């Protein structure tokens, strides 16, 4: 019998009686790693002012459709999920392997009657297509066409492998566009270390395809190192989960950055002692970060079939528990693939859940953090009982070792590293999870030892989130935190009550409008921005004018301004049409002036101990 062409892939077409109605349908019943599902998106074609555009209407999915037919036709049918009265029947002509796939016919039924028919030519062998716009700092590269037969590795791997091939195996067409090589005109150190503020400024400046909307385009940049505030651990990468500079933008998951030098200098015995092994670590981590941009959580955090023994890109090698444990065992079993549940998500999830700039990052499968009982460590969450509506809110998380022996804690204890989770119940009863604006991928082994009786305190900025202001309502908030020292281990804090006052007068309303602006929130969170120098001048004036309106808020503004002026901050200029990295020199006089104002006595305490210690250290450095 002659071999027949597989039918899986993407088809796109219009309704016969209503041509402005467009359907894009993904058929996934045969071929490579079939997920036995049909999904699609519905659009309306409009032409306002003579310019044609497509308006997204809805997504749909048919799970486990019935497949029938013969050597001439295949039929696929089933109920549309969450719509008991709707179903689809698809008629697909069968042709010999190697032939062009003819158009298919899609019948949409309500209560068993056909209400719409779509003629859909095949548009792609893949299920979704996306573009990554990639910048690299001079000397930084992304491994391409890597031979996967690197010791240790499983037998039977075929290559080469790359970022594109990793997603192609999942049925996703990723196109990588090397946009620019960032060069450095100020010396060998200017572009080496990048902090969060600089990386976010860089993304805003360099994402040429940004259009303030959901789109299948992602920005990525490779720099040598990403600044770690703790020298005890390395940052391999970050995902940007905050809107760009446009006011009101809430486009999530639009960019990621990788620290190429940190990845290539990381050592762990003989696991990463050759260039090929280092390239493997780099590429696995890069695919991991891009996977997060597709809204994929870690394998042990996902709702559907959580698995620490997974060999997916979305597991951490050091967390692997499949038979033997640890990184060596992971690489011995790693086959450069995603898990089926992840493949099904990328191919068939609703558009808003996966498209870059769509819905916010999906963390895990817990509806709420459990109440702490008999934990081996004491976890205390504290904050001021009452804050003003204009005041950035910081909570202090203190971990105390009540055991008889030393314990290890994550070196980066923060929501950004995924080692701390925060949930808030608002005055209106809505339970929300704190979504940090930035997410860090930390190198393995970054732990801190806590001896018996010792405590460690960290400050958590609660006001700044990827989803906008965390405290939009006046009234009482109930807050709980938990640390996640290892996969499947969640240790909860006490519950905390915090009350946000109503703005006292028109001046307080005016100040609240300033500090909740997206650009100001980013300035406060990152401690400045070289890309927006005029904002520092504006906030200096605001701090002076509203010193009496809110002494606490004025000190928070001064603290951010002091950090801003104290830093040697990188930004981009252009020379001969090429992007060039340059640096703004610190203004130490302005740094001292603002930091002294920030730590000056106030009618009530403004900063917690960890934040006050950080500000005092910056002030000492600025004074020289």
pLDDT in tens, 114-146: 999 999 999 999 999 999 999 888 778 888 889
Structure letter (DSSP) for residue 496: E
CB 21 within 8 A of CB 15: yes
Q: For residues 422 and 270, what is the distance between their CA atoms, to the nearest angstrom?
A: 38
Strand partners, 75: 68, 91
pLDDT in tens, 178-226: 877 777 655 555 568 888 888 888 887 777 666 556 789 888 999 999 9
Give the DSSP letter of residue 161. B
Q: Are 242 and 435 in contact (CB under 8 A)?
A: no
Contact between residue 241 and residue 436 where contact means Cβ atoms under 8 Å apart = yes
Q: How many CB atoms lie within 10 A of CB 153?
A: 18
Q: Nearest Cα to 288, choosing from 167, 411, 148, 135?
A: 167
Which residues have a Cβ under 8 Å from the Cβ of 607 and sit 6 or more positions away? Answer: 394, 555, 559, 598, 599, 615
- Please give the Cα distance from 436 to 434 (Å, whole number): 6
The residue that leads in pLDDT, 230 or 94, is 94
- Picking from 509, 478, 479, 554, the residue whose alpha carbon sits closest to that of residue 389 is 509
Over the chain, what is the mean pLDDT? 88
For residues 86 and 79, is the Cβ–Cβ distance under 8 A? yes
Question: Which residue would you say has higher pLDDT here, 175 or 624?
Answer: 175
- Please check whether residue 621 is in contact with residue 566, taking contact to mean a CB–CB distance below 8 angstroms: yes
CA separation for the pair 3, 22 (Å, rounded): 32
Least confident of 477-481, 492-496, 568-572: 568-572
Using the Cα atoms of residue 554, residue 560, residue 564 and residue 570 in order, give the sign of their dihedral: negative
Question: What is each CA distance from 522 to 85, 243, 420, in whole angstroms?
Answer: 47, 10, 21
- The predicted structure's pLDDT at residue 35: 97
In this predicted model, which residue has the larger pLDDT, 252 or 240?
Answer: 240
Residue 206: per-residue pLDDT = 76
The position carrying tokens 């219009």 is: 14
**Which secondary structure element, helix H or strand E, spans residue 165, and what is its range?**
helix 163-168
Higher local confidence (pLDDT), 155 or 518: 155
Contact 539/516 with Cβ under 8 angstroms? no
b/e per residue 71-92 (b: at least 16 CB within 10 A)? eeebebbbbbeeeeebbbbbeb
Answer yes or no: are the C-beta atoms of 567 and 587 closer than 8 Å.
Answer: no
Instruction: Pick the more confident residue, 181 or 347.
Output: 347
Residue pair 181/174 in contact by the 8 Å Cβ criterion: no
User: No. of H helices and E strands in the chain?
Assistant: 13, 30
3-class SS of residue 259: strand
Position 360 scores a pLDDT of 62
- Locate 214 and state its tokens: 């959901």
Q: Please provide residue 303's backbone torsions phi and psi, each rounded to the nearest 5 degrees.
A: -70, -45
Domains (ranges, CATH) in the chain?
Answer: 9-123 (2.40.160), 128-354 (3.40.390.10), 377-500 (2.60.40.2970), 517-623 (no CATH)
What pTM was estimated for this model as a whole?
0.84
Q: Which two tokens stand for residue 537?
A: 């001048």
- Predicted local distance difference test score (pLDDT) of residue 246: 37
Of 255-269, 356-370, 445-459, 536-550, the one with minimum mean pLDDT is: 356-370
pLDDT of residue 84: 87
pLDDT-based confidence at 247, cuts 50/70/90? very low
Backbone angles phi, psi at 594, to 5 degrees: -75, -40
- The yes-or-no verdict on residue 244 having pLDDT over 50 is no
- Count of alpha carbons within 13 Å of 42, Cβ hemisphere only? 14
> For residue 188, what are the contacts with CB-CB under 8 A and spacing of at least 6?
none
Span 229-252, mean pLDDT? 64
Stronger pLDDT, 370 or 177, i.e. the higher one:
177
* Amino acid 211: pLDDT: 57
For residues 447 and 232, the model is more confident at: 447
Is the distance from CB of 523 to CB of 532 less than 8 angstroms? yes
């Amino acid at each position: 019998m002659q071999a027949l062409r597989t039918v899986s892939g993407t088809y796109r077409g219009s309704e016969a009686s209503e041509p402005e109605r467009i359907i894009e349908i993904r058929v996934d019943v045969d071929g490579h790693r079939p997920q036995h599902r049909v999904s699609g998106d519905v659009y309306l074609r409009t032409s306002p002012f003579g310019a044609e555009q497509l308006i997204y209407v809805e997504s749909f999915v048919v799970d486990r459709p019935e497949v029938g037919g013969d050597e001439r036709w295949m039929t696929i049918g089933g109920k549309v999920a969450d719509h008991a009265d709707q179903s689809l029947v698809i008629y697909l002509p069968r042709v010999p392997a190697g032939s062009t796939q003819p158009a298919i016919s899609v019948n949409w039924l309500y209560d068993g009657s056909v209400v719409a028919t779509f003629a859909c030519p095949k548009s792609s062998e893949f299920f979704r297509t996306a573009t990554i716009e990639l910048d690299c700092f001079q000397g930084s590269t992304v491994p391409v066409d890597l031979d996967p037969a690197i010791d240790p590795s499983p037998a039977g791997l075929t290559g080469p492998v790359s970022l594109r091939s990793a997603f192609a195996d999942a049925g996703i067409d990723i196109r990588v566009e090397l946009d620019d090589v960032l060069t450095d005109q100020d010396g060998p150190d200017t572009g080496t270390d990048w902090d969060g503020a600089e990386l976010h400024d860089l993304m805003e400046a360099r994402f040429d395809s940004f259009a303030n909307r959901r789109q299948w385009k992602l920005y990525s940049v490779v720099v040598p190192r990403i600044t770690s505030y703790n020298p005890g651990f390395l940052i391999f990468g970050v995902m940007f989960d905050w809107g760009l500079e446009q006011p009101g933008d809430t486009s999530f998951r639009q960019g990621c950055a990788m620290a190429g030098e940190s990845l290539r200098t990381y050592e762990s015995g003989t696991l990463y002692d050759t260039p090929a092994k280092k390239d493997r670590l780099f590429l696995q981590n890069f695919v991991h970060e891009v996977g997060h941009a597709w809204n994929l959580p870690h394998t042990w955090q996902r709702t559907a079939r959580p698995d620490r023994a997974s060999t997916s890109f979305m597991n951490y090698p050091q967390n692997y528990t499949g038979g033997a444990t640890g990184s060596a065992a992971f690489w011995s079993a790693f086959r450069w693939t995603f898990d089926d549940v992840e493949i099904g998500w990328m191919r068939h999830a609703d558009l808003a859940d996966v498209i870059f700039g769509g819905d916010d990052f999906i963390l895990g499968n817990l509806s709420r953090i459990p109440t702490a009982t008999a934990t081996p460590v004491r976890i205390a969450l504290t904050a001021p009982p009452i804050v003003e509506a204009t005041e950035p809110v910081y909570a202090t998380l203190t971990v105390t070792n009540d055991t008889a022996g030393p314990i290890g804690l994550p070196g980066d204890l923060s929501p950004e590293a995924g080692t701390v989770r925060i949930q808030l119940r608002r005055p209106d009863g809505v339970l929300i999870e704190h979504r940090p604006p930035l997410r860090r991928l930390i190198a393995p082994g970054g732990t801190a030892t806590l001896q018996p009786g010792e405590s460690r305190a960290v400050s958590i900025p609660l006001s700044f989130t990827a989803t906008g202001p965390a405290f939009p309502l006046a009234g009482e908030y109930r807050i709980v935190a938990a640390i996640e020292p290892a996969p499947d281990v969640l240790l909860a804090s006490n519950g905390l009550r915090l009350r946000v006052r109503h703005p006292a007068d028109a001046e307080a309303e005016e100040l609240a409008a300033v500090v909740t602006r997206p650009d100001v929130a980013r300035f406060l969170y990152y401690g400045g921005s070289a890309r927006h120098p005029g904002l520092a001048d504006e906030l200096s004036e605001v701090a002076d004018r509203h010193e009496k309106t809110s002494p606490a808020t004025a000190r928070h503004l001064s603290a951010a301004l002091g950090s801003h002026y104290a830093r040697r901050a990188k930004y981009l200029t252009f020379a001969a049409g090429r992007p060039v990295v340059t640096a703004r020199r610190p203004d130490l006089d302005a740094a001292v002036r603002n930091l002294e104002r920030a730590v000056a006595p106030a009618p009530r305490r403004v900063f917690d101990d960890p934040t006050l210690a950080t500000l005092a250290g910056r002030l000492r450095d600025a004074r020289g």
